[in-house]
Amino acid sequence: MPPEFRLYNTMTRSVEPFAPADGETVRIYSCGPTVYNPAHLGNFRTFLFVDLLRRAIALRGWNVRQVMNLTDVDDKIIKRAHEQRKTIRQVTEPVTEVFHRDREYLRIQRAEAYPKATDYIPQMIALVQTLMDRGVAYLADDKSVYFAIDRFPKYGKLSRLDTREIKTGARVAQDDYSKENAQDFALWKAATPNDEVTGAAWDSPWGRGRPGWHLECSAMAIDLQGETLDIHCGGIDLIFPHHEDEIAQSEAATGQTFARFWCHGAFLLTEGAKMAKRLGNVTTVKGMREAKISAAAVRHFVFNTHYRKELNLSEEALEASMNAVRRVGDFAERLATAPGGTPELATAADAAMAEVEAALFDDLNAPNALGALFTFIHKANAELDRKGSDAAALERAREVLSRINGVLDIVPDRTVDDPELVEWVEDRLAARRAARERRDFAEADRIRQELVDRGVAIEDGPGGTKWKKVR
């Protein structure tokens, strides 16, 4: 039997045993990017935590159905569209493409669904109508619809805030809307001229308008995952008011618990300050690529700190992660080409697998899992030095490395994730071309052998010389 799977539940402030409600499939809803600017590495720390979660769940043997929303209509998007004289779609579609490109670079597995808010307007209108029918929402004088938090007694249970202490306008601007209570949040906002000109207004029973930010997630989650989620994920900055408001409107509408578990990731800091666009300390995935920092190194850097602890971005930490994954890559290549192993190699592999599972199934303790992996690498290298001939032991070691990397995904792809290798190969190929042009074939052959010794195969053709990493 595998170890018990445990997760920290923000709702209870404790680590609890977890299993999917149906025993088979874990239904996850994770808050995705607001696509008006490319997501920064602070956002991607949260997305990487969710990637780790879904991979650990799969390792445990359960199926995963993850829905990650794309917020493509909100105040910031409309403001950007109006400034640039564009529609909201013209602003959001290119940014969405960047998000998926960055996600793929960081090896974040694709969610089963990426709903866009603008594709679910009918479901949002229906949810607002349900809340009005149940007497927890009202139409204000300005034709905007608000949720009356005084009519939902459990409001504040996730964030544990006393409603008397909640500041007004915490996330959604107060604007000039008339409300029964300054703390009430907008479900449906009456359209403004800017909304109309940017394509951010729809017909509704209450007139032209657009959904409130909080409403979007509830409508999409319920439509795609049902009334009760297994896990709802996001960054800790979403606990209040976003997730608190999601709970209020969802549970007031359905009468059911909205999510069984709430899981939140901590901030990424740059020199001690939260990474945020407004602070100007933003690091993008594009910036990481341009700095020749591999996806494997970024993943190692993020997973080397527990997801519920703040992580500080520094050049030294990234350099350490680059060196660490280079060691992992060297070991993976050695294991792939080794002729055999020893019984002790299989023993070390079994121990590593058990330790990694125990760590990951205990609230996603990736730092401990990484520690177990590097202990395995140290022991396995020692056994490979003995040049054993046990094929079964070698195959077990390969299987364990593959399973561990299936979750952490930090074995670098030498042709993609090792920019130093790419630069070296291109330099060697240029030197070989020069040698051949001056008819120094002995030097050209020597350079070819140099490439082969590094596990690089080359092929000369009419279009030039192609190369690939073969080990």
How far apart, in whole angstroms, are the C-alpha atoms of residue 154 and residue 247?
A: 9
The structure's pTM equals 0.86
| pLDDT at residue 171, rounded to an integer | 33
Please report which helix (H) or strand (E) contains residue 7, including its range.
Answer: strand 6-9
Which domains are present in the chain?
6-270 (3.40.50.620), 312-413 (1.20.120.640), 418-469 (no CATH)
CA distance 194 to 196: 5
Cα–Cα distance for residue pair 253/255, rounded to 1 Å:
6
What pLDDT does residue 471 have?
53
- Which residues of the chain are modeled with pLDDT < 50? 167-178
Helices and strands counted in the chain (H then E): 16, 15
Written in H, E and C, the secondary structure of 149-203 is HHHCCCCCCCCCCCHHHCCCCCCCCCCCCCCCCCCCEEEEEECCHHHHHCCCCEC
Which tokens in the block code for residue 244?
A: 């608190």
Distance CA 417, CA 412 (A): 5
CA separation, residue 209 to residues 193, 219, 364 (Å): 10, 16, 42
Give the strand pairing for 25-30 and 63-68. parallel
pLDDT tens digit sequence for 187-227: 999 999 999 999 999 999 999 999 999 999 999 999 999 99
pLDDT digits (tens, 9 = 90+) for 413-432: 765 556 677 788 888 998 99
Burial (CB count within 10 angstroms: exposed 0-12, middle 13-18, buried 19+), residue 307: buried
3-state secondary structure of 205: coil
